Every structure is written in C-alpha cells, then in structure tokens.
Amino acid sequence: MENVLEVRKLRKKYDSFELQDISLDLPRGSIMGFVGQNGAGKTTAIKLILNLIRADAGEIKIFGEKHNALDRKLKEQIGVVFDECNFPEYLTAKDIILVMKNIYRSFQVERFDKLLDSLKLPKNKPIKEFSRGMKMKLSIAVALSHGAKLLILDEPTSGLDPIVRDEVLDLFLEFIQDEDCAILVSSHIISDLEKVADYITFIHEGKIIFSENKDRLLEEYGVLKCSHHDFEQIDKTKVLGYRENQFSVAALIRKKDVPKGFLVEQASIEEIMLFMTRGERAS
Amino acid sequence: MKGLLIKDFLILKNQGKLLALALLVYSIIAFSSGNADMVTTMLFVVSVIMPVTAIAYDEKSRWERYALATALNRRDLVLSKYLFGGLCIVCGMLLGILFTLAAEKGSAAVLLPRLRMLVVAACVGMVVQSVNLPIVFHFGVEKGRIAMLLVIAGTAALQFYLGQVGIQVSGSLFSNMPLVLYVVIAAVSFGLSIVVSNIIYSKKEF
C-alpha cells in the first residue's frame, strides 16, 4: 500500500522537551489518529511535517517527495486545520472565498459554498461572531475545498460539543471515501479516533510508543484481571503495565502471552495507552 | 500573494469607518482653513503604520502559521507586507495631493513645493517602513514597537551628540535634495529591507 506520508527518525530538541526518532507511515485511503496527552509532542511533530519549524534530524516524504521540496504544487494538495481558527476575525466567510481563491489555484468556490450551506455557516457574518464550533467548521470547510489529498489536522475537535464533533467526524469519513486521500488527525479525545481512525500512533514524552493498525491493536492486546496470588504466577516480562488495588490486579498483556486458565477482556485504545504510560512495570 | 493583499485590504476596510470619520473631521478643518497639512499628515502617519497594524491582526489570529501551511511560502508573506505598505503610502500620497489641490488655493509656484513635500513624505514613509518592518518581523508587533521607539530615541540622541561635538546635520541638506534622489533612496532602502526581512523570516519558527 502506497504511503501518502512517511516520517523517519524525526528529531527536534528544545531546552525542556525533545522529540525523539519519530517515525510513522500514513497509507493512502486511511485515517491515522495521532494521540497523546497535552505536551506529548503531537503539535511539534505536525509543525515539523508542515515545515513550520526545522527538524534537527530525520526525513519526511509527502506523496513520495522529500519534505524540503514542499513546493506550491505539493502544498496545494495538503489541507490543514489547527486547533483554532486562524482567519482574522473581522473577515466573513464571503471574504474568505476572495482570499483563499487567490491563495489556492484549485480553490473550488462551489464546493465551499455547498459546505457552508450544509454546515449552516453564515456567509456575511464576521468570524468574531462565530461560536468555536462554527469557527472550526469554517476551517475544515476551507481545508476540504481546494482538492487536497492529504488532510493534516491538529486537535480539530477539541473544545467542541459532541454533536459538532460528530458532524466533523462525518466530514472526515466522507473525505476518505476517495481512496487517494488520507488524513493525519491529532487528538486527545480517544473516542473520536476510535470511531474514524484506521491507524493509531501514540506519542508519549516525545517518543512514539506505537504506530499500528487500530484493529490489530484491539486484536493484539487484552486486559487480564486476576488476584494478587494469580498475578505472581505470570511471567512479568510479558506484562506491559499493570494496576493493582487491595483485591485484584489488572494487567495489559498481549493476548498470545496469556497463560492458560486466565481470562482476558478486550482492551480499549484508551486502556492500552493508560497502561503503557501510567501503569506500573514489573521489575 | 494576491490573496494576502486582499486579506490585508479587507481588514483595512473594517477599520474604514474610523478612518473615514477621521478624514472627514480633518477635511472640514482643511477646507475651512485653506490648509491641507493636517489631512496630509494624518494620511502619512496612517499609511506608514498600516502594515504593522496588518501584522498585529495576523499575530492575533495566528494567521502566519496557517498561511505558511497553505500554498504560500515565507517570501510571499514578507513581500506582501512591503507591497501592502507601499500601496498604502501611494494611496495616502495620492489622496494628499487631491486634498492639497482641492483645499488650497494658490498659484502653481505656491502649490508645487507643497506637492513636492508630499512626494518627499511618501519617500520618507517608505524609509520608515524599511526600518520598521524587519524589526517587527524579528521581535513581533509588541516588542517591535518598543524597539522602534528605541531606534527613534537613538537617532535623536545621535543627532544631539553630533550637535554637542560641533557637527550640525542641516535640514537644508535634505530640503535641497533633488526629488529623484529621494525616490532612489526610498527604493533602495525598501529593497535592502526586503532582503533583511527575508533572512529574518526564513529563520523564524511558527
């Protein structure tokens, strides 16, 4: 499967934070959820991909072309939404058409108009009078209106109510119907990504913990629940993280490593992340 | 690039009511006194600070970060602000000429030096923008304003010091300069300033 985005051993060092050897592949026709807690490095990685900051090391390829060749033609094919609306607030949606059609050669006014109608966004109202949800929908409408093949979205659903979030997720699913397209979407709202993502990349303290097919993740990992006594019998090298209370222990484990006679429950993406980062490790 | 200019002028349009009101008040004064100096001074000041105002709006909405993720590049962003600044100055100068011709009565011998002054003011405005824009690109609008004040204070201090040591910078030296030299100085300073701003901007992280 051809990759729309390839990132290899990307590094960026700041005084108080370091992004270390970030690698990921985003295949054509898929949505990748980029997850991690606030400050984990999601936005820094996205900024590196978009050439807004410079990497200390590593390689990025978009549509097979090297990152430093991020020319106009290539950028026309990338739709971007950040965690806030970046249009000056005195502008209206009508003004945005005038601006964006002179920025993107491929800006489709009709498509944008249709999106404004379907998302119930007013054309002549200044953006400063929009709610946060409306602002985000406007940003997404622009990203979907210039024939982009790759959407890079940084926390597009944060701060939105569940109904607007659902509307936005539907737009992503509609976009991905074209199998040439792909989406990299960062979020810390795991439930959103569980709904739409094909791949999950989990970043923690500047390092990629895993970057996997979502279904494979759900198939591979399970939560084993047992007594303290039973837990003592388990090979601790197979335990990826555990939590214990007075009565029992819950441990994240690969299903293939579950000893006979033990039962495991399905692990959610959120549980996998929590066990891997906050769970205790057997020494 | 065109899209960036349109955006800046659309923002300017939103300040239009305030500007139009100021222009109206100053026009009344100009027509009743027969002297357009106040209008032309206002036009000069407004047109010189306009690109910095546009950058302030960009900073507020974090537009630059977004714009650089679109089909635009860093050079487009820098150049658009110089073009916007230059266009504001040209518009201000043309309006100033219109006001002078309409409000002031007098022979060509009286009007011509006044029109010359407007062209000189436009050239000075371009030089001011040439100094101001790289500072604002480097420090941002808030710190840039402070830095610009320091530049102005430094220039005044230097002039005072030169006066103290017996070197007089004569005003007549500038007033007798041929107009074309003003235009050349303005164009060269704009060009150099664009080069400096491009270097500053290429190193910026968003």
pLDDT in tens, A84-114: 999 999 999 999 999 999 999 999 999 999 9
* CATH dotted code for A3-205: 3.40.50.300
Q: Does the pLDDT value for residue B35 go beyond 80?
A: no
Q: Does the pLDDT value for residue B127 go beyond 70?
A: yes
Interchain pair A52, B65: CB under 8 A:
yes
Q: What is the pLDDT of residue B22?
A: 81
Q: What is the pLDDT of residue A184?
A: 97
pLDDT tens per residue across span B47-69: 888 899 899 999 999 999 999 99
Residue with tokens 């539907």: A170
**ipTM given for this complex:** 0.88
Identify the burial level of B170 via C-beta atoms within 10 angstroms of its C-beta, where 0-12 means exposed, 13-18 middle and 19 or more buried.
exposed
Q: Does the pLDDT value for residue A20 go beyond 60?
A: yes
Residue with tokens 């507020």: B60
Report the helix count and the strand count for chain A, using DSSP H and E.
Answer: 10, 14
Paired residues of A24 in beta bridges: A7
Rounded (5°) CA angle B56-B4-A51: 85
* Strand A3-13, strand A150-154: pairing: unpaired
Where does the pLDDT of residue A257 fall: very low under 50, low under 70, confident under 90, or very high at 90 and above? confident
Interchain pair A100, B3: CB under 8 A:
yes
Q: Does the pLDDT value for residue A283 go beyond 80?
A: no
A54 contacts in chain B (CB < 8 Å): 205
* Token pair of B179 as six digits: 């107009």
A82 contacts in chain B (CB < 8 Å): 62, 65-66, 69
Q: How far apart are CA B19 and CA B91, in angstroms?
A: 13
Domain membership of residue B18 as a residue range: 2-202
**Of residues B41, B55, B33, B20, the one with CA closest to residue B141:** B55
Interface of B with A in 47-106 (CB under 8 A): 57-58, 60-63, 65-73
- How many domains does chain B contain in total? 1
Identify the burial level of A262 via C-beta atoms within 10 angstroms of its C-beta, where 0-12 means exposed, 13-18 middle and 19 or more buried.
middle
**CB of A50 closer than 8 Å to CB of A195:** no
Paired residues of A249 in beta bridges: A226, A244
Rounded (5°) CA angle A189-A192-A198: 115
> How many other C-beta atoms lie within 10 A of the C-beta of residue B129?
28
Q: What is the pLDDT of residue A185?
A: 96
How many CB pairs (< 8 A) connect A and B? 81
B61 contacts in chain A (CB < 8 Å): 85-89
Interchain pair B61, A50: CB under 8 A:
no
* Token pair of A155 as six digits: 């926390």
What percent of chain A has pLDDT above 70?
A: 97
Q: How far apart are CA A276 and CA A65, in angstroms?
A: 34
Rounded (5°) CA angle B49-B52-B58: 145
Q: Is A248 strand, coil or helix?
A: coil
